[in-house]
Amino acid sequence: MIAPRLREVPDIGDDDPPYLFEDYVGTRLRAPRRPLLLLPHSLSELTGPVYGHESVGGLDHDLTLQHGGQPQGQRIVVSGRVLEEDGRPVRDSLVEIWQANAAGRYRHDVDGHDAPLDPNFDGAGRCVTDDEGRYRFVTVKPGAYPWQNHVNAWRPAHIHFSLFGRAFSQRLVTQMYFPDDPLFPYDPIFGSVRDPEARRRLIGSFDLETTVPDHALGFRFDIVLRGVEATPLEG
């Protein structure tokens, strides 16, 4: 056996959750059991796909205008900035979201929850950040929904977010939660992030400034992507 010259990286959950988190049953057969190997960064990791303003339509950011009528539920505006660790804005970068409707039902074949679908809501949106890294979506507040992880398991209301950043190493998929959700202590996906401060960063905050009078409540959710650094090659 040749000793590996790529450093093994232990899977400790700190800011990010670990791959294996027993309470989240789905991780048990899917989390890799061998340590990750640290890859020295080259152009392969320091570059990334560039989906800018040309890749979205004018109404893609408004999930309430994708059909003839208004979807059911509490209308909300979700906005914020995408930044790198050093505070630099991530400009002209694609942000994709998807979510359940106000009743807690996804428009998806495998969602067996008997809550109603909403003919006026698909639950997917896309937008591109501006020069300051800002994004903005209009949608409805998603409902909580049951899942099969354990007896009487319910997911807290959340919106899925997908971010590119400017390098493939920065790619992030995460979820935004809503303030004061009573389901937090029971949810092993939210709870998989072990540091309470890091968990708090997954929760959007109510924001009066972006609340639209007589129309929609504002929530603010800033997203910070890992910086891009060249790592030294191990000897």
Partner 1 sequence: MRLPITPSQTVGPYLSIGLLGTIGPALVRADATGATRIRGRVLDGAREPVPDALVELWQADTNGCYATSTTGFTGFGRSGTVDGGSFEFVTVKPGRVPAPDGGLQAPHVNVGVFARGLLKRLFTRIYFPDESEANAADAILSALDPSLRETLVARAEADGSLRFDIRLQGDDQTVFFAL
Among 24, 105, 126, 145, the active-site one is 145
Nearest residue (CB) to partner 1, 47 versus 205: 47
Nearest residue (CB) to partner 1, 52 versus 212: 52
Query: 225 with 165: CB under 8 angstroms?
Result: yes
Nearest residue (CB) to partner 1, 165 versus 218: 165
Nearest residue (CB) to partner 1, 12 versus 215: 12
Nearest residue (CB) to partner 1, 77 versus 82: 82
Task: Output the smallest distance, CB 2 to partner 1, in A.
Answer: 5
Catalytic residue at 158? Answer: yes
CA angle, 117 as apex, 106 and 64 as ends, to 5°? 80
Catalytic residue at 67? Answer: no
Dihedral of alpha carbons 198, 87, 124, 179, sign: positive
Nearest CA to 198 out of 216, 164, 174 is that of: 174
Query: 108 with 151: CB under 8 angstroms?
Result: no
Q: Which residues contact 33 (CB under 8 A, 6 or more apart)?
A: 20
Q: What is the SS3 assignment for 111?
A: coil
Task: Output the smallest distance, CB 26 to partner 1, in A.
Answer: 3
Query: In Å, how far are 150, 153, 191, 193 from 146, measured between CA atoms?
Result: 10, 6, 16, 21
Catalytic residue at 160? Answer: yes
Q: How far is 208 from 100, CA to CA, in rounded Å? A: 24
Among 75, 107, 136, 160, the active-site one is 160
Task: Output the smallest distance, CB 100 to partner 1, in A.
Answer: 8
Catalytic residue at 150? Answer: no
Among 24, 81, 105, 106, the active-site one is 106
Task: Output the smallest distance, CB 73 to partner 1, in A.
Answer: 17
CA 25 to mean position of chain CA atoms: 20
Task: Output the smallest distance, CB 210 to partner 1, in A.
Answer: 19
Catalytic residues: 106, 145, 155, 158, 160
